[in-house]
Structure formats: structure tokens, C-alpha cells
Structure 1
Amino acid sequence: MTTEGSSKKEVVNPKAIIHKRFGDKARYNVEEIQEFSSNGTPGLALPQKGPCLYRCTLELPEFSVMSDIRKRKKDAMQSAAEKALEKLTDPPVEDPWDQLVSRLSYLFSDEFYSICHPLSGHFRAALNREGHLNGFVPIHILPIYDSKLFNICKGIKPGVELKPLEVTSIVMDAATRLSETLFTSKEQVSLRRTSPYPTEVLQSVEVSCKQETYVKAIRIPYLVEKNVEPLTLDVSSDKYYMDAIARELGVEDASKVFLSRSVGKASSETRFYFCAPKSEDETKEDSQDRAFLNVRASYLSGQDIYGDAVLANIGYLWKSFDLFHEDVSSRTYYRLIMNKVPTGIYKVSREAVLAAELPARFGTRSNWRGLFPRDVLCMFCRQHRLPEPVFSSTVANGNRGPEETFRCEAKIFSKGQDLILHYHSQESFKKQSDATQDTASKVLSCLNVYLKKLNNPQMDLAMNGNGLDLEFYPQHISKEMRYFSLVHKSWPCFEASSKNLLGVNDNTACSYNIEGPDSEIFASSGCLVCVCYSVFLVKEGDKEELEKHEEFEFELGSEAVIPELEAVVAQMGVGQSARFRLELPPHELIFAANGDPARVLSLLSSGGCSLEYTTTLLRVTEPMEDRMEKAQFSPSLSKQRVQYAVDRIKESSATFLVDFGCGSGSLLDSLLDYPTSLERIVGVDISTKALARAAKSLHTKLSNNAVPVKSSHIKSALLLDGSITTFDSRVYGCDIGTCLEVIEHVSEDEATVFGNMVLSSFCPKLLILSTPNYEYNVILQNPEEDGEAINPTKPCKFRNLDHKFEWTRKQFEAWASELAKKHNYSVEFSGVGGTEGVEPGFASQIAVFRRACEFPEDVDMADVPYNVVWDWKSTNM
């Protein structure tokens, strides 16, 4: 087992203990020792050949010790430290208050002023403050920017990091011990040197030419119903920027302003600035001032913030003496909000807030775009200040050779190390990294469900894990998520809906207009498509561009974009363009996208706006399965399957055909290219997107008499939207039914449900059903082995990421034979691709079922639950 994310244990040894107690006051002197040996002559010793030996002397403030002789220097140093520990009965430890006083003395020294440190920038700026504030530095910024001082305060009083007023009080008490060098103002809660800085220091901060500098920030009102407001801060060279923020918050000076921890990246200077509470009592649960809790600022910062807050990106850095500043807009704020949820993290990583969605499943590295699932999950945990998720991978098949496969499990813990979530996948993968990414994807789906149902009873949340190999304890994450529902109450659902391939209608209410000539290249599920798109906020004649991508790639069918965009692209050919409009999403999403905030706000405030999308399909890359088949079969495997069906149609003189799971109509469309006896064709599928594509193609051929002359007697064509596990009398009793490469896209249990339904209720005279032969994958995925001895036990990937299973010949024959026996059909087996009788069989295995009984007499011909998508009838009838 390999475990990722686990931390190394701290190694504690004598030397480390000495260093912790004495620091630089412990001095080690190592000397080289040369051993001598006697040559038999009294009084004469000669150097002995061999490795050098070492001895160490350790000098401490009160005593020194000498080590034993050792072969290595570090062993001699450890020996000396060990002896020192034995001698220390009551080891001296420096008092933390003395450490704090010493640190304060250093921070206000001439030496520190010349160091490039965030605090030294504040000290220099304080010398430009006007009037009685000149030289005063607010105490509360000291622990914010000096981690050593902050850690000393925590050592004096553990848990004080959650109580900023107590930290300030501790620093002020320590400063009173430096009354000769520091002046303490309790009224201003600030410190100042009693002696002036040297002349060269004062001269360096004098502003000879004022540099006017303005930085954009935003105000976050504590009332959630109020919108964030843009503001501009004057941080010119002759001012202290903290005073400028104080004025915006309506307080006297910087000493009345508190800073939050950094928001977003750890290295960021983006912080919330808010009015300091007068006492710690104001932050208690029963305090009336709790009503002024700023939920949005508290949610983003991970600490309680009260009253209105200013979000700004400004401060002094380690690498420069100049003031750092960057504009913060409403877009910045809303993207910070989005980065607190998995779907939002993915949207921002793709720079496609109004187009992208977190895919419902993990694809291969070649098809996945944006942050990988593991990265999204890790960022989610960091944003909520949870420990990094722990991933553990195991070998799934017990092999230890190059053909091993992997499974992965993931655990998420709270800050208190309580288990929040444990997902243990039963799926195995050829690559360890794919197993990890798939597991992370499943965990993200669970978190999305949880975030949507925060107000549901705990039992309902726990039920989401059933069937997902999931243990979930939401009560352990509730503290970190306590403000989520208040902040996101008007936001859209962050989870793309999961669909059952056999029974869920995916109709999308979206009217669109496709422009441009038809090409011969269309996208289908599993294809990697590349589009360019733009999104506009429109009202009557006004239009403001919000988001734009010149090249945007996603896998069609993976729900990696909003459903409306996916539905439209599924109807387009390469080179075609489309335009469609949608109702406005929550305003937060609009502000998180690009655009002029003032212009956008003006349009939104006037009402009657909508979003307009324009997109062009630039290129289509077929799924790996199709590319493999085309590369190794001529004609392609799909054409061979169609030819097999055509040959059975000719033999049976069938006039009525139903294609179960017709998709975008590739089989029906191809059948029209052959002379057959067909007069009536019907396609059934649950995807209205695919059926719309099929209707467009079939209508073009049939209406323009583009089919062969011998096939011109086709009288009707019908496309129906519905589940093939639900009976509809319009497809009852067909001459021939086809179901080519469909059942592997659902679970094995669902495939059996379909088999029982089609043979017991639809009752075709002939049913042709094909599915991939798993045993042939070793040739498709390792073509270099063709002609050599094939290892049938070699594990292979499924041919398509959407396949839920792929059967061997033995498994398929057992399944089909049981169905045929149960429903009084005969069955024979064949296939296409490969050679009959030669291992490992056909690439696509086919079962042909023939009905051996009459039609049932108790059929309800009025039972028509399917929706008609397209109904064509010949004008020659």
C-alpha cells in the first residue's frame, strides 16, 4: 500500500532538544582524533592506519561536556548533547515574556529598520503620519506580520490566536517593560520609539515629491441583503494606507482597524479590514453585537468579522521596500466566493464561469480540461482550512508485475482530526494516478450534493453515500461550513445532474439558431470538441460582453459545460455557428465573469436583461475507441456492423425496423445508403439532443430524395424520446430490431432489464444485438502484438470511458442464452472485426435472436408514453 498526503513524524534527538532549549547559545567544537598503536618499543607509538575518529566539546552557558570518541562527526555531537542532558537536572528555559520583550526591542531597533520586512514598511510609513500620530505603529499589526512575535504570544497563552484583542493586550503588557525605549499609548493602542530615529533614517522617509496613488477596493456590508460596493483608497506616498482604510470605515485612525488573515493564496496580501471590537465580550455568542457579524467576510476569511469590512490587496512585502498594491474589484470578490465550492473552483480554473461545469465523471488526461479532480479537492480543503485529503492506493488484482491494476480510497478529516468522509472505490485502474483522480471526482460529487442540501436532516445526507462505498459524517464539517447557506442562498446548484442512460429525459429548454452549411463532421458523445464562444449581457439594443474564449475544449457528453451549450453543440457540424439566449443566472455569477462592473450593474439595475451565447464549432476529435477501430479495420468496425444488419434485413425481407438506443441516428442514416426492403423505420433514445441531430440528418436525406432509388419506397420515419425499458405500442412487433453497441453503456443489471423488456414486450421477429468483446481489447490497445502470441489474461482498459462493463465471449453467450430460453427465442452468435475461429474472436460480438412464438394477444395498443421528436411521412403515399 502506498499512502499519499501523510506527514512525516518529527525526529527528536538529544541535539534537537539542546537546540530547542538553548538555541545559538549551544556551541559544538568537533576535533579529529588520531589513534596510535605501539610497535613494541617502549615509549614509542605510531599513528594507526584507518578511518579518522572524532570527539566533540559542547559549551553551554553554565557548563561544558565532552563526548565519547565516535567514527562520525554527527555521532560525536549527539554524544555530547546526550551527556549534557544527563547533567541538566532542571534545564534552564528562557521565559517567554523575556522572549517577547527581546523581540519587541529588536523590531523597534535601528537595525530592523534597514531590513526588508513587512513590519519595517509600516514603521517607515508611520513616520509620515500627521500630528500626534506621527511615529505611532498600531499594536495589532505586529503579530499579523511577524510570525515569531505571534508564536511567542501563543506560547504565553495557548488559544489566543482566536482572540485578537488578547494578543494586543499581551504585546502591550510586554511593551511596558521597555518604557525607556518604547512609548505605549493605551488610547491609541499603538507603540512609538521614545528616541528619534537616526538622521539618515528620517531623511530616507521624507517625501520630496508626492506620488499620488489610488487603489480600488470594495466594501462588504455586514447586512447580507446589501450588495458589495466599489471604493477607491488614497495611498499616496505621504500617507499611511491604514489611516486611509480607517477613514473609509468611519473610525479615527489605523489603531481602530483590525486585519484578517490573508484571503485566497497564502502569499496574497488580500485581506479584510474591519473595525476593532471594544472588548472580547462583543464577540461572544450571547452578545448583542453578534447581530453585526459580517457573514460574507467571516466565510471567506475563516474568522469572525464584525461590521462593514473593506477587502483590499495592499501591504508591504518581504522583497521590496515599496508599498505593494493591486486593485480589488467585485469580480475578485465573487471569484473568491466561487473558490469555496468544487464547481466554482473548476469554473474559475477554466476561466469559463458562464460556460463550464465540473464534469460528472473523470476522463483520461487527454480529455480532461481544467484543474484535475484531486487538485480541486485539495483546494476545497485548503479554502475551508481542513487538512489535506489523504489518498491511499492499493493493488487491485494482487499482481506485483507490470500488469497490476489499482484502486484508491480517500479520507477527509476535520481540523480536530475527526473523520468527515471516507470513500473506498471498488473500481480498478491501470494507472495509479487515474485511480486517485477518479476517487477525487467521486468525493467532489458527494460534496456538491452536501453543499446543496445543508438544511436537510442528517439522515438524508448520509443516504447519499449508499451505493457509493461512502462513509460521510457531515456533523464534523458543519463548523467550517456554518455560513455557507447564508452566503450562497441565491446561488445556482453546483452539481450537474446525473442521468440514467435508460430512463431520464435530458430535454433542455433552449431555443437556438444554427447558421452555416452542413459539414460531414459532427460531434457525438465522447468526442473532444473545440468551440469559440462569447457571452453577452443584453437588453434591447444594449449589449455588454461578459466572457469570451477563442478556443474552448470539452468532452461532449461528460457534462463539462452548461447543458444548454452542450445541447446546441450536439446539433452542429464543424464550421457552423449558433446563437441562443438564456435567462439570467444569479448576479454573483455575472460579476464573477469578465466585464465592466459599472456597465454591468447599470444594465442589471434597469431590469429586462438576458444572456446571449454565440458559439462556433471549430473541430471535433473522435473518441479513442472510434480512432482505434478506424485505424485497424477497413471498412471501419461501425460500417461492418451496419453491413451485418443490412445483410440480415435482406435475408428477412423486413419492412419495419426499430433501432433501440439509436443515439444520433448513425445506423438509421447509414441504412438509407443501401437498397433494402424497409418501408418504416423508428429510432428510440432518451437523449433529445441526439434525436435532434438524427432528425436533422434523416430529414435532409429523405426530404431531398437523397437515398438510393431502390430505397425510395420508405414510407415513414419516426424518432421517439423514451426509455427502452418502458413499453410503447408504436414499436411493438417490428420485423427486425437492432441494438448496436448500447448495453455496455449501462450497468449489467440494467442491460438485463432491457433484454427482458425487448423480448417479452416489444417482441421483434428478429433482434440483432452487439457489444464489444473485451478479449479483443488486447489487440486494439496493443497493436504491436498483432501476429504474436496473445496473452488473453492481460488486463486492458474499456474501449470507452462511458462503458460500465465489457463482456468476454463466454459471459455474453451465457447472458444471451438465458434470455433466449426464458422468452422462447433462439439465438445464434457471430460478430464483425477479426476472423471467426481465430483467438481472441470478433472485435464486436453479435447475438441474433429469432422469435419462435406468436405475438402476445393482450397488448394495449393505446399505451404510447414516448414523446415524438420527429415524424416524417413520404409525400408519395
Structure 2
Amino acid sequence: METGGAGRKTVLTPKAVIHQKFGSKACYTIEEVHEPPQNGCPGLAIAQKGACLFRCNLELPDVSVVSGTFKRKRDAEQSAAELAIEKLGIHTRTNDLTSEEACDELVARINYLFSNEFLSALHPLSGHFRDAMQREGDCHCLVPISVIFAYDARICNLSKWIDPHMESNPYLVIPCILRAAAKLSESLSAPKGQLSLQRKNPYPSEVIASSVIEPSLSSKRSLIEVVHIPHFLDKPVESITLDLSPTGYYLDLIAKQLGLCDAAKVFISRPVGRASSETRLYFAASETFLSDLPSDLLDFKEALHFREPLNARATYLCGQDIYGDAILANIGYTWKSKDLSYENIGLQSYYRMLINKTPSGIYKLSREAMVTAQLPSMFTTKANWRGAFPRDVLCTFCRQQRLSEPIISSVGVIPSSSKSSDKQNLQVTDSKAVQEHANGGTIAENNGQVVESEDTFRCEVRIYSKNQELVLECSPKDTFKKQFDSIQNVSLKVLLWLDIYFKDLNVSLERLTSYADALSIQFNSQRFFQELASYRSFHSGLNSEVQEEISHKSKDLKFLCTYLGYGDSSLNIHGSDSGISPSNGSLVCISYNVSLKAEGVEVRETIEKNDDYEFEIGSGCVIPCLEAIVQQMSLGQSAYFCAELVPREFILAATLNSARILHLLDSSACCLEYSCTLIRVTEPLEARMEQALFSPPLSKQRVEFAVKYIKESHACTLVDFGCGSGSLLDSLLNYQTSLEKIVGVDISQKSLSRAAKILHSKLSTEPNNHVPRTPIKSAVLYDGSITDFDPRLCEFDIATCLEVIEHMEEDQAYLFGNLVLSSFCPKLLVVSTPNYEYNVILQGSNLSSQEGDPDDKTQLQSCKFRNHDHKFEWTREQFNHWARDLATRHNYSVEFSGVGGLGHMEPGYASQIAIFRRSETRRVHPIGDKAESAYRYQVIWEWNSRNK
């Protein structure tokens, strides 16, 4: 792994700088400006227009600017962004200042701040100068140095040029500003023992008069909710209220809460949370620092050691070293008004800021589902994704952890002109060709040949520290047809790996490395742990105590975990079965309510509720038990169940009633009680496009095809390999057949749970006009891989494997075929799989009424296969080759058929089917080991007619 810095710094446009700091809160409005016509024709009855120019109005949370007029809209937007950057004092110079130049500019800036014109200016800092004039006694006209650094972006940036360590340590700023102020001794003074500056000459009366705020505008007392964060981890974080008078200085009030007599001793952190937020931490200056403030900055850095304990929680929140207690508040002055602005900050806000520094927490916040949502395990399609995209989550994470923006590079992979019958040969193009393709180019030159633009992409991501030291890189080999999908997938891999660390700080380096290898990630362990040191410090003493407490209080409660078997007593599903149920890949919509259920307390406390919550089944974007239950429900049904507690920071981030929730968590054994209703099911894309073109749908046609062969063969036993949610087994119960025993095998316990519910309901129902009498005597569902051997499935009359093998790697499909025909040895085997050649017809079908990717003409035009989970799709030639090879090798005959379309016309059937028949002359070898030790499958559900 490389350890050097990034090759070169990316020069950001003004608009990109604004987006980096404000995101979607930056609002650009374009206005057309028509110039008077030049060289017009006098007396012409037709209205004459001059040139059309554009002006841009940029609205930010605290400031608005208007650009000049430009011929192009983009130039007007960039101009407005540049004006905003200049007004906000954001530093964007690409050439580094020398230390001497930075010191000179710092002196000039301080001189301007104490000038007459600045007092009446609309600036976040000018309000503090006006408040200083209202202070009485020895503090009259004294401006705390801490506010100068905190609220003037130019001072902050210049200080960082002088010494980069000042950004994370505000104690280094004080002597720096004092040295600059000393050069202005004729106009400024710094009283001894005071961390403040003041003018030697008072402001002129006319300047004071123009700066005074009318009393009527601020005549009421203000009650401001803030959060008190003790430095001891065993003391709870509490919400308190500040009572601010109309003429009072809010920093004096905060100083009093911290046990200080002077606001100058209150230090202020940089903004916490969003870049546009004015939420900051206020904390007391160290007594060690105040007792001996050296004049020499270098000596001071060497002597900077504090006796006070580090506040791990506050330090983690803002990324600056904070000692002693701290207060979290959103209060201050803005660019738009001279009035004091504030927002109440309660415990919910505090915990939301905490979880916003973790990958999973950022995603939860984007979905407003702190308890129910979790970081998805896979990115399928843009149309099905809900919440912040992985790349946006990764960028937010890097900003929150004070890392550089992630560098994501896309590498185009263009198929060569020659293709084998089995696989495409892929060639990585050079950067120029990649750029052409990324910009929509239609051809790329490769070894002197022109290749059609049918490119795929793979992406790499690198994350650097603020000092441009490489922390980690992810370079997977996965390729995607769409560049967007490639970017999101590589970002998600990094997030999933980071989330492993944030969920378990005790994970060993060996396991972390193993996870990284599996996700194609390389990382510098020393730098990685160094960059996230504050998180480890914060959680080392807190998490173990809290989790141990939760575990102890919940150990006697019975609740649902990650898997729900049929008949679980803690699950109640109400409502009639509509027959419409979600499957893997379905987009479902639920309404749900989550309450905290405490032992011995009848009243439930609602934590989280949502009346319209969408998510994709199988993507892992909600807690496992909820997804498992939704898969067992049908449209319109409601479910009630209990689940284990999530970490308490997520619970407290979800609720406004923090005091009551904390009381229950601290005093009782608790669990989460869910109630949810399935209100909408959108089938997977593959099913939707098949239904749009075929009637009845292909899925039903495949079942009817299998039933035909079951009846013809007079089969008594059937095994369905890859049975999923039991759709085939369920459908078979609607037909009169000779089957007496049916068996299903699948690797998904969630799907098997759904299948068990359906089969149990039908088999246990007395026959009537809707449910025919069935000769079935037994039914079994097994959990296991169809590439593993289990002697209990040998010598069945018929075996089916419908639309399953394409979800495996090709070598696994060969392994399955060999295992079934050589070891399981059914008399008849029916295998179906999509015909890749038919996709061109499916892609041309009219799906305008279906939901798709809004950025595409149709979603199908960008799909390589019918389903994102397909590992391959074979042409007729490839499928025939696979089937004939297996049949010849294992003494089976094989014939080919299909459903959907016409087999004798191009491009054949939509679903191609192979029917293997065991040769009558073949000798079936007896199974050598039928002992239970040879059983590889686990029985999930079993039904017998005798125990009906």
C-alpha cells in the first residue's frame, strides 16, 4: 500500500467550495436580464430585444449575495459563489502563504475588526463588539479573544497558516492573537490577566448610535435550551435552560454556568455538525493555561500540559481537545441581522450529532429512522435505493472525522472486439479513453482498433488524512455497466468496513484485516487508529458500561432476534392473506410504530413512527427481524413483535422525551415493541417486465410446465432445489397430482420461513371448493446449499430447479449439475434459466407505467441482466452445451423446451428449460452413509398428515 500523499490537490471552483460547506442549503436562483437593443430599427412594429444576460442570487443560511450579469448561467453562479466566499472569509488560495505574510495579514485583519465601520456591519462577530459596549464594570468594551478566533473565518484561516495545530487546539490561538495585537499597541490594549482586547479610543457617538439595536426588537427574556456535558464519563449528559435578559451578554451567562466569573475565560469550539450550523461547544479555559501564559509561542507549545481531565465526549464531537465540563449550544449572531439568533439544543440533538459521525448513523439520519434503519449491505439500483447514497454518506463521514474528501476514480473497462462463446474479454483502457467514455464518447481507441462504446466501469476510492497521508484505499475488481453504480458500490464497501470498526471497537486487527481483504481494502493501521483515536477514547469507558447494563437488564426478556421460525410465540400477524407477498428484490412500503416496553410498566413510550416507509427486501437496509417478518406478511396484514434494544444513543436520537426514556432504560429491563402494516408491494424488476410482456406471467407458466411433467411421470416424490419462498410447492397444492411427499431446499432462512407459513396454512386446511384434496402425506423444508450433498434427498421421482442457477457463479452451476445427476440421481430433473438472447425483446417492451430510474429512458436499457443478482445469463448455445455435457457424463438423456415466446422462432423462449431423464439401463448405487452425521441440511419445518 502506498503511504505517500495525494499526487496533486484538486482545485475546486467557487461553486464546489460552497457545495462542500453548505450542500443542499445553498440555493441558486437565476434571473434573466435583457439589455436594450443596439442598432435597432426605428419605427419597426415588432418588439425588439437586446442581448439576454443572467444574474444569480445565492441564498445561504446566514448570507445572501447577488452576482453581476453574465452571458452564461454558469458564470453567474460561479460569480455569486465567489462573492459569498469572499464575504464569509473562506480561504481558497492554492498558493501557500509564508508565515510572515500570514502574520502581517493577521495584524491587518485585527485592526479592521476594531475599526468604526466594522461595529455596524452585519457580521457574526460584530454583535460581540456591540455586546461588549453594553457590559458594565471592568468588562466594559472588552472583547474576548476566543470570540475573535471563533467567529471570524479570516482570522481562523490565517492562524492555521501560521500553525496548522491551531485548528484542533484553541489554546495555541491566544498567544498568536496577543502577539498580533501587540503590534497595534497605539490603538489596542490587552489588560493584564484578561484574555480580551479593547480599543484605547472609544467609538465616536455617531458610530455607536448607528449600531444600537432598538429595544423593541429584543425586549423579552429568552429561555434557551442547551446541553451540559460533564468531563467525567460516569456523569450523565443533561439538558439545561439559560435565562437570558434582553441586555445581557450570552457569553457571560454561559460563563456562569461553567463556574466562571468572566466570559473571556470561555473558549469556543469550531461549529459542530453541519458546516452551516452555529452549534458550538463552550468550555472553561484551563487554570494551568491562565496561571502561566508565556509570550513566546514556541515555548508555549512545549509547556502546554494540563492538569484538568480531557472531556472525551466533547472532544469527540468537535475534534478539538476540550478539558473540563462543556456546554453545547446553538446561539450567536448572523450575517443577516443584528439580533441574537438561537435554537434550542436538547438531548435528541446531542445524540444525533454523535451518531452523525458514524457510517450507520449518517444513513439512519438520512432516513429519519434511528431505530429501524441500518446501513444496507448492498447497492442494487438507483431506483430502489432510499436515503443518502453511499458516496454522499462517505463524504459526510470524512468531513465529520476531519479527513480529506474521498478521492473516487473511475476506470473504464471496454470489451474487446473479439468475444468467446462463454465470457466477454475485458480490457482496461487508458485514462484518456476512460475520460472520453465518462464524457459520453461513443468510441475508444485501443491498440489501433476502434471499439464500440459498450463499456463497463470499476471504481477505486482513496481516503487521506488532512495532512494528505493515505489512510485507506479500496480497489475492487467488480465491474458495472453504469459509472454511477460503480461509484456507489465501491463507496458502500468502504462504509461497511468502517462500520465493522465503529460497531465493535474490540475487533482485533487480524479480523479487521480479514474483513478488509474480503472487501478489497488496504489500510494503514497506524494512521487509521490515529485518525479515529477520539472515538476510541470516547467509547472505551462509555460503551462497555452501557452495553453491560443493557445486557444485564434484558437477559430475562424473550424477544425476537435475527431469525424468526414458523410458530414463534412472540410474533403475531393479523389480517387475511391477500396472496400478495414480498420476495427478494421487492420494494415494500410499511407503516410502523416502535415503543419502548419496560418490564412491569403498562404504558409504552413511543420512540419512532413512520406512516410511509419504503425499503428493498434483501438489501439489508432495516433491522433483520423486521425484514424477516415483512417477508412473512401479505399485503394489508399487520404484525406485532418484540425485538432487542439497539444501542441507547440511537434510541435517544430518535425520541424527544429523553428524560422519560432514560428513566425507563436505567430502572427496568426493556425491549422494543414493534407494530407494522404492509401497505404496498412493488415486485422486482425482473417480475415486472415479465408480467408486462407475458400473460400469464412467466413464473406461472414455469409452474404449469413442471406440473405437466409431474402428471405425465406419475411422480410420488418431489424435491425443489432453491425453493425460495415456496412458490412452486405452494402452486402444486392447487393441482390434482400423484405427489405424496414434497421437499424444498434453500439457503435463505427468511424465504424458508415464508414458505413454511404458506404450506402449513394450506396443508392444515380442510379441502373445499377452493382447496382441492391432496394426497400429500409429508412436507419438509431444509436449510442448506444445493451444492452440498445430503443422503435424505436421493432418488426422488422428480427434482426441479427453476430460475436458480443464474444466481450462482458459473462454476457453482456446473458443480450443482454434477452433484444432482451423480449423487441425488432423480428420475427426472427439470432446470430452467433465463435466455439471454431474449433480453432484447424484454428491453423493448413498454414499461412506461412501471417505476424506473428517472435518469434513464428505461431502466432496462442499462441492465446487463434481468436481475441485479444474476451472476450470469446464458444463450441457448451455452445452456445446451452445459446440459448435454452433464447428461452425457451421468447417463441421462436431455431434451429442451421453454416458456414465453415461440421456440422455433428467434430468439427462442424467454425461459429455457432442460428436462433430464435417468436412463433405464443406469444402475443407481446404494447410498453408503445414511447416518445422521452425513446430513448436511438442517430441518427448518416439517409437516405430516398423521399429525395434522
Among 844, 850, 869, the alignment partner of 2:917 is: 850
**How big is each residue's C-alpha offset from its partner over 1:690-749, in whole Å with a ceiling of 9 and x where there is no partner?**
223222222333323258887522222222333333333432221111111112223333
Q: Which residue of 1 aligns with 2:533?
A: 482
Q: Secondary structure at the match of 1:694?
A: helix
Aligned residues, how many?
776
1:127 aligns with 2:130: no
SS in 1 for 2:253: helix
Shift of 1:628: 0.7
Supply the distance in 1 between the matched residues of 2:923 and 2:135 (Cα, whole angstroms).
99
Indicate conservation of the 8 Å contact 1:271/1:313, yes or no.
Answer: yes
**Letter in structure 1 aligned against 2:523:** F
Counterpart of 1:165 (choices 163, 171, 191) is: 171
Structure 2 CA distance for partners of 1:187 and 1:310, relative to 1, 3 Å: same
Which residue of the partner structure matches residue 33 of structure 1? none
Matches within 5 A, 1:662-673: 662-673=723-734
| Aligned residue number for residue 795 of structure 2 | 733
Report the Cα distance in structure 1 between the residues aligned to 2:462 and 2:640, rounded to whole angstroms.
44
Confirm or deny: 8 A CA contact 1:128 1:205 kept in the other structure.
no
Q: 2:893 aligns with which of 826, 830, 854?
A: 826
Pair 1:780–1:5, CA change in 2 (3 A): farther
Q: Secondary structure at the match of 1:523?
A: coil
**Are the equivalent residues in 1 in contact too, given 2:288–2:307 (CA < 8 A)?**
no
- Is 2:863 the partner of 1:860? no
User: Which of these two proteins has the greater Rg computed from alpha carbons?
Assistant: 1
Moved more, 521-530 or 728-737: 728-737
User: Are 1:396 and 2:399 matched, yes or no?
Assistant: no
The worse-fitting range, judged by mean Cα deviation, of 863-872 and 101-110 is 863-872
Residue deviations 1:58-103 (CA, integer Å, cap 9, x gap): xxxxxxxxxxxxxxxxxxxxxxxxxxxxxxxxxx999655544433
After superposition, give the CA deviation of every residue in 1:371-398 in whole Å (9 maximum; x if it has no partner): 0111111111111122211222233225
| 1:544 and 2:602 matched | no
User: Is 1:299 aligned to residue 316 of structure 2?
Assistant: yes
Q: Are 1:773 and 2:835 an aligned pair?
A: yes
After superposition, give the CA deviation of every residue in 1:838-871 in whole Å (9 maximum; x if it has no partner): 3322211222222333333234333345443332
**Do the aligned partners of residues 101 and 421 (structure 1) sit closer, same or farther apart at CA in structure 2, a change above 3 Å counting?**
closer
Which shows bigger deviation, 165-174 or 579-588?
Answer: 165-174
1:383–1:706 Cα change, 3 Å: farther
Alignment of structure 1 residues 717-732 onto 2, 5 Å: 717-732=779-794
- Quickly say closer, same or farther: Cα 1:328–1:576, change in 2 above 3 A: same
Q: For the residues of structure 1 that align with 2:809 and 2:530, how far apart are their CA atoms?
A: 38
Partners of 2:8 and 2:707 lie apart in 1 by: 56
Post-superposition CA distance 1:386-424 (Å, at most 9, x none): 221122223322554554332222222222223233323
Counterpart code for 1:529 = V
| 1:608 aligns to 2:674 (yes or no) | no
Q: Does 1:430 align with 2:488?
A: no
- Mean CA deviation greater in 475-484 or 822-831: 822-831
Task: Check whether the contact 2:767–2:773 (CA below 8 A) recurs between aligned residues.
Answer: no
- Larger mean Cα displacement after TM superposition, 732-741 or 196-205: 196-205
Query: How far did residue 518 of structure 1 move?
Result: 1.4
The residue correspondences of 1:374-773 to structure 2 (distance < 5 A) are 374-398=391-415, 400=444, 401=452, 403-452=454-503, 454-488=505-539, 490=543, 507-508=563-564, 511-539=570-598, 540-702=601-763, 703-706=765-768, 712-773=774-835
The one-letter code of the counterpart of 1:164 is P
Is 1:324 aligned to residue 383 of structure 2? no
Match status 1:336 vs 2:372: no
Does residue 874 (structure 1) correspond to residue 945 (structure 2)? The answer is yes
- 1:93 and 1:479 mapped to 2: Cα distance? 27
Say if 1:687 and 1:137 are closer, same or farther in 2 by CA, change over 3 A: same
Label 1:461 to 1:631 Cα distance change in 2 as closer, same or farther (>3 A): same
Q: CA deviation at 1:158?
A: 5.9
Using the alignment, how far apart are the partners of 1:109 and 1:513 within structure 2? 72
For 1:113-192, list aligned pairs within 5 A.
113-156=119-162, 159-192=165-198
Q: Which string of whole-angstrom CA distances, capped at 9 and with x for unpartnered residues, describes residues 277-326 of structure 1?
A: 24569998998747711222212211211111111111111121111111
Deviates more, 1:581-590 or 1:392-401: 392-401
Aligned partners of 1:708 and 1:150: how far apart in 2?
77
Residue 652 of structure 2 aligns with an amino acid whose one-letter code is F
Structure 2 CA distance for partners of 1:305 and 1:822, relative to 1, 3 Å: farther
* Residues 763-817 of structure 1: CA deviation (Å, up to 9, x unaligned): 21211111112222121112379xxxxxxxx985221122222222333333333
* Residues 618 and 708 (structure 1), Cα distance of their counterparts in 2 relative to 1, 3 Å cut: closer
Write out aligned runs for 1:192-271 (5 A): 192-200=198-206, 202=208, 204=212, 210-271=219-280
Write out per-residue CA displacement over residues 574-625 of structure 1, whole angstroms, 9 at most, x where no aligned residue: 1111111123222211101123112212222321222111100001011110
> Matched residues in 1 for 2:470 and 2:929: separation?
55
282-291 or 521-530: bigger deviation? 282-291
Mean alpha-carbon deviation: is it higher for 551-560 or for 135-144?
135-144
> Which sections of structure 1, spanning at least 5 residues, go unmatched?
12-91, 494-504, 786-793
From the superposition, tell whether residues 728 and 488 of structure 1 become closer, same or farther in structure 2 (CA, over 3 Å).
Answer: farther
Identity of aligned residues (%): 53
Q: Could you tell me how far 1:174 is from its partner in structure 2?
A: 3.0
> Tell me, what secondary structure is at the counterpart of 2:517?
coil
Structure 2 portions without partners, runs of 5+: 1-5, 15-97, 294-299, 416-442, 445-451, 548-560, 848-860
Query: Aligned equivalents of 1:178 and 1:298: distance in 2?
Result: 34
- State whether residues 294 and 307 of structure 1, in contact with CA within 8 Å, keep that contact through their aligned partners in structure 2: yes
CA distance in 1, matches of 2:941, 2:506: 43
Contact 2:225–2:242, Cα closer than 8 Å, also in 1: yes
Residue in 2 aligned with 1:15?
A: none
Cα RMSD (Å) of the superposition?
A: 3.2
Provide the C-alpha distance between the structure 2 equivalents of 1:608 and 1:463, rounded to a whole number of angstroms: 36
Structure 1 residues 105, 477: closer, same or farther in 2, change over 3 A? same
Partner of residue 7, structure 1? 10
Partner of 1:111: 117
1:193 is displaced (CA, Å) by 2.3
More deviation, 203-212/386-395: 203-212
SS in 2 for 1:140: helix
Contact 1:529 1:556 in 2 (8 A): yes
Quick one: distance in 2 between partners of 1:163 and 1:672?
A: 72
Amino acid at match of 2:661: V
1:330-369 aligned at under 5 Å gives the runs 330-369=347-386
What secondary structure, in the 3-state scheme, does the structure 1 residue paired with 2:529 have?
coil
Query: Which one is further off, 378-387 or 396-405?
Result: 396-405
State how 1:64-103 maps to structure 2 within 5 Å.
98-103=104-109
Q: 1:488 offset after TM fit, Å? A: 4.1
Q: Structure 1 132/402 Cα, relative in aligned 2: closer, same or farther at 3 Å?
A: same
Secondary structure at the aligned position of 2:674 is classed as: strand
2:286–2:308 contact (8 Å) kept in structure 1? no
Aligned partners of 1:4, 1:565: CA distance in 2, in Å? Answer: 46
